[in-house]
Amino acid sequence: MIDIIEAKKYIEGFLKGKNAKYLVFVAIGLMILIATSSFDGADGKIQAKNSTEQRLEQMLNQIEGISDASVMINWSNNKPEGVIIVAKGTENPAIKKMIHDAAAAALGVKANKIEVFSKKEGDLK
């Protein structure tokens, strides 16, 4: 019983005065930190996915014979599961194979999970 009474007195003494204000600020700060870290995590994953698509597009557009490449990656559990690439120049079978090989190497995806299509003339990305 004595321990409980002493603990109660200690807590009451702590909550009086300036300590209570600091405790409130610390609690609010922790809540803000937790809330923002959850949202940043989700946004960070989306940005990483978009960044991967953009980087692959940039790399493909640098390859001789390929232009105006657009990439869509299907993600599952933070791993690429499938890839669709639409680009100009894919009418040439050798170019199409280069695109398959580049995407497979960059993403670690098997070639049968990558589809490559020809982009229509005059269409936007």
Full strand arrangement of the beta sheet holding 114-118 = 67-76, 79-88, 114-118
Nearest Cα to 90, choosing from 120, 66, 114?
66
CA 19/CA 59 separation, integer angstroms: 57
98, 125 contact by CB (below 8 A): no
CATH number of 2-118: 3.30.300.30
Report the alpha-carbon angle 104-107-108, nearest 5.
65
pLDDT 10s digits, 102-124 = 999 999 999 899 999 999 876 55
CA 104/CA 107 separation, integer angstroms: 5
Question: What pLDDT shows up at residue 113?
Answer: 95
Does the pLDDT at position 30 exceed 60?
Answer: yes
Question: What pLDDT shows up at residue 13?
Answer: 67
CA 1/CA 45 separation, integer angstroms: 52
- Domain residue limits, the chain: 2-118
Output the CA–CA distances (angstroms, integers) from residue 73 to 13, 17, 103, 119, in the order listed: 59, 57, 10, 17
Q: pTM above the 0.75 mark? A: no
